[in-house]
Chains A and B, each alone.
Chain A
Amino acid sequence: MEERKPSWLLKVTVTVLFVFLLVPVLVIVPLSFSGENTLRFPPDSWSFRWYGELWSNDRMWGAFRTSLVIGAVVTVLTILIALPAAYVIVRLKVRGSELLYNLFTAPLLLPTIVIGLAILIIFASVGLLGTRLGIALGHLVLTLPYALRILATALNALAVTVEEAAASLGAKPLTVFRRITLPLIAPGLVSAGALSFLVSFDEVVVTLFLAGPEATTLPVEMFRHLESRSDPLIAAISVLLISLTLAVVLIVHRSIGFSTSFTR
């Protein structure tokens, strides 16, 4: 029914603004094929040399592997920790559920720079600084609130009556959870997992405080590199990162649909 045509002025403005919104990501792809020694856009010559540089850059590859491992571990831990918590808060409705929920999602309200600094000071005294375990713990603080929120929403949307129906048909609580609840909140699990991975994989600020020579992630290495130089090596890595993100999003999209996973 709606067909109030936007005026041409709005259309032109919106086009310009979309270009503004997307230009930093759009320039990176051609820039990664630059043949120049330094940053120059548009480049005067084209080549794959920066992908070659990336291939032989052990530091970046090491950081990339660390990022992947930490991302995977954090994702698994997040689901294992957040799912029982969401179940207790939504289903068991113990006293103070609301308070607990607010406490567990509180890290989203504080600036990451403050969280990073706070963890740094504690980890320095217990020897977790500069370790993969330390970084993973730091990431968990950030991924748990997202996962808890998504899973709580999914559980809330699931009618208790369905679980009660299964119980009335003779299913024991654990069976109800495994056969009824789990399959029905599967989309929530997938998006919570995907988001946890992306948050962990892209995290810079907290990681910057916790990383050390022994354990560092790709975004941190990129940031450190950028502090001194801005050559197209970063463009090549960025293309790699964007492709990876795109792959994760596509997998999620295939399994549950984009709009239900990232835009709520």
Chain B
Amino acid sequence: MAQQGDETRRNGLAIALLLPIVLVNVGVFLYPVLNLLSTSFKEALPGGGIGTEFTWANWSTLVQDRFYMEALLRSVLMSLLITFLTLLCSYPIALYLHRSSGQWRTFLLVLVVSPLLTSAVVRTYGWVAVLADTGLIKNGLEQIGITLPFRLVYNMTGVVIGLTEILMPYMILALLAGFGRLDPRCEEAALTLGARPIQAFWRVVLPLTAPGIALGCLLCFVLAVSSFITPRILGGGRVFLLATEIYDQAIVTLNWPAAGTLSILVLVVFGLSLILYTRALRAFD
């Protein structure tokens, strides 16, 4: 009997302590997200209103509108390209960090993490200053007599460059976690067995760090697909992507059902990439 009373008291305490977080989570996250999903099947009324009748109208508009389909395709392709470039730029840094040690390693690690602690707006502005027609690169090249015939920013080029840099810290940290599971002796064993460094890399290091690569790629792809601050500014309003369209529909056009529908599309892309990731992980094993 006493034990049962104890149990009840314990549960009561647990519920009391969990109540605040449950309120926030359900009230400001779970219910809004479920509501958003249902919004996608409601009629849009002028001025941000939402109808009550069930309708497929938003989805049929979406599928028939070439503009949205192109934005979807552009978002996915751009994110794939950015993921690839991020991997390419991050792997050497992660490899170098993995091989260095002591204070030097800590210092470099701080350099890698510090951009994460800087607002995306600030870093995006930094890229404007680097890529603009009067910015670091074009201005610098003109000083030595070279004039680039194309713009580096306010187009897709700027978005790709900026997002690649902004996503690098995530990729580097994911790769480092992968390297952490790599026993350096394995690489040495390969060398003593006659593998040249490049062979040891392809046959031993790369396969063993593949899970880290997969995680980093998933993370960067997902963040690239849903990013919108950087594309908005570095794209100069001329690069149309899923995320920027959601913002436009929600804030400018005030068509919330359409925005909700596009959000679901983003979530579907998320889900598919997650499935692909788990498939890849299983293939490595």
CB atoms of A and B under 8 A apart anywhere in the complex?
A: yes
Residues of A within 8 A of B (CB): 2, 4, 6, 10-11, 13-14, 17-18, 20-28, 31, 38-42, 80-82, 84-85, 87-88, 92, 94, 100, 103-104, 106-107, 110-115, 117-122, 124, 137-138, 140-141, 144, 148, 198, 202, 204-205, 208-209, 219, 222-223, 226-227, 230, 234-235, 238, 241-242, 245, 249, 258-259, 262-263
Indicate if the CB atoms of A263 and B109 lie closer than 8 Å: yes
What B residues does A235 contact at CB under 8 A? 125, 129
Q: B223-256 CB contact bits vs A (8 Å, 1 = yes)?
A: 0011011001100010000010011001100001
Shortest Cβ gap from A245 to chain B (Å) = 5
Which residue of B has the minimal Cβ distance to A194?
A: B117
Indicate if the CB atoms of B232 and A114 lie closer than 8 Å: no
Known: A92-B13, A137-B24. A100 touches B226 (CB 8 A): no
Is B207 among interface residues, defined by CB-CB distance under 8 A?
A: no
Partner among B21, B134, B168 whose Cβ is within 8 Å of the Cβ of A144: B21
Indicate if the CB atoms of B118 and A226 lie closer than 8 Å: no
Is B270 among interface residues, defined by CB-CB distance under 8 A?
A: yes
What A residues does B114 contact at CB under 8 A? 25
Would you call the interface of chain A mostly helix, strand, loop, or mixed? helix
Which residue of A has the minimal Cβ distance to B162?
A: A24
Partner among A14, A230, A262 whose Cβ is within 8 Å of the Cβ of B92: A14
Known: A14-B92, A25-B123, A27-B126. A111 touches B266 (CB 8 A): yes
Indicate if the CB atoms of B113 and A262 lie closer than 8 Å: yes
C-alpha gap A80/B20 in the complex (Å): 9
Q: B128-147 CB contact bits vs A (8 Å, 1 = yes)?
A: 11101011100110000000
Which residue of B has the minimal Cβ distance to A28?
A: B126
Which residue of A has the minimal Cβ distance to B164?
A: A20
What A residues does B165 contact at CB under 8 A? 20-21, 23-24
Indicate if the CB atoms of A121 and B32 lie closer than 8 Å: yes
Partner among A88, A209, A262 whose Cβ is within 8 Å of the Cβ of B14: A88
Partner among A21, A141, A230 whose Cβ is within 8 Å of the Cβ of B115: A21
